[in-house]
Amino acid sequence: MIDFRGLLDAAHIIEDSPLYGQPVIENGLAMCKIHHAAYDGAMLGIDPDGIVHVGRDLLQAKDGPMLHHGLQGFHREPVGRPNNPHHAPAPE
């Protein structure tokens, strides 16, 4: 968990549009800026069970510690849940 709010973004699970997702807590995740960019770029995703999946290209990439620990290290790990269950994303 990051305690520095300036490093966090609110990411939509389902695109915010009149036909699809809505800008509500149940349709959002708090992510750091790099994870939000990777999520929006379909380089990582979260399955319905709350498990993170990092894309093959990112998993195979060789770079530095940020890539290794900050992205690749989250592959197959559960998403952190908020302390208040009313702030959790809707499972559907």
Q: Where are the beta strands (DSSP E) in 18-69?
A: 28-32, 44-46, 52-54
Domain extent for 63: 5-78
- Would the pLDDT of 81 be above 80? yes
Determine, yes or no, domain membership for 89: no
Domains in the chain, number: 1
- Residue 91: the pLDDT is 74
Determine, yes or no, domain membership for 29: yes
Half-sphere exposure of 2 (CA within 13 A, CB side): 13
Determine, yes or no, domain membership for 86: no
Determine, yes or no, domain membership for 71: yes
pTM of this structure: 0.83
- Residue 46: the pLDDT is 92
Determine, yes or no, domain membership for 90: no
Determine, yes or no, domain membership for 92: no
Instruction: Report pLDDT digits (tens) over 1-49.
Output: 567 778 889 898 888 777 777 788 888 898 999 999 999 999 999 998 8
- Would the pLDDT of 62 be above 70? yes
User: How would residue 77 be classed by pLDDT, with cut points 50, 70 and 90?
Assistant: very high
More confident residue, 92 or 78: 78
